[in-house]
Amino acid sequence: MNIQDVREIKQLVADLRSGSNREANEIIKQRIDDVIEPIKSNPITQLLIQLGATDHTKQAVEWLFDHDMQAQDEGMDCLYKMVESRVIAEYALEIYDHRKDYRGAA
């Protein structure tokens, strides 16, 4: 991928993040829902347990996600934002590949 490709993909991501295209917004929302809906527990919990674990890390993280509503909300918000970023990047790359294929065919 060259610099021009990176610029074009960054512009696509920025356009998709702007929310100005209603059809793209619906596609992105559906794709996010498709990723998040089947999740039974927040994978961030396991990540936090594994990062620099001490004797009380697992217990602390479990307590946060069982008893602290703010931590639960922040965990879901973080997960949603990361999935949203991933889905937008995937969609931008999909659009980019279609454009590239179209240019190559022309």
Q: What is the full per-residue pLDDT of the chain (106 aa) written as tens digits? A: 899 999 999 999 999 999 899 999 999 999 999 999 888 788 888 899 999 899 999 999 999 989 999 998 998 999 999 999 999 999 999 999 998 777 665 5
> 7-14: long-range contacts at Cβ-Cβ below 8 A with a sequence spacing of 24 or more?
8/96, 8/99, 9/89, 9/92, 9/93, 9/96, 12/92, 12/95, 12/96, 13/88, 13/89, 13/92
How many domains is the chain built from?
Answer: 1
Cβ neighbour number for residue 29 with a 10 Å cutoff = 12
- pLDDT for 23: 93
Q: What pLDDT score was predicted for residue 104? A: 62
Give the domain extent around 90. 3-105
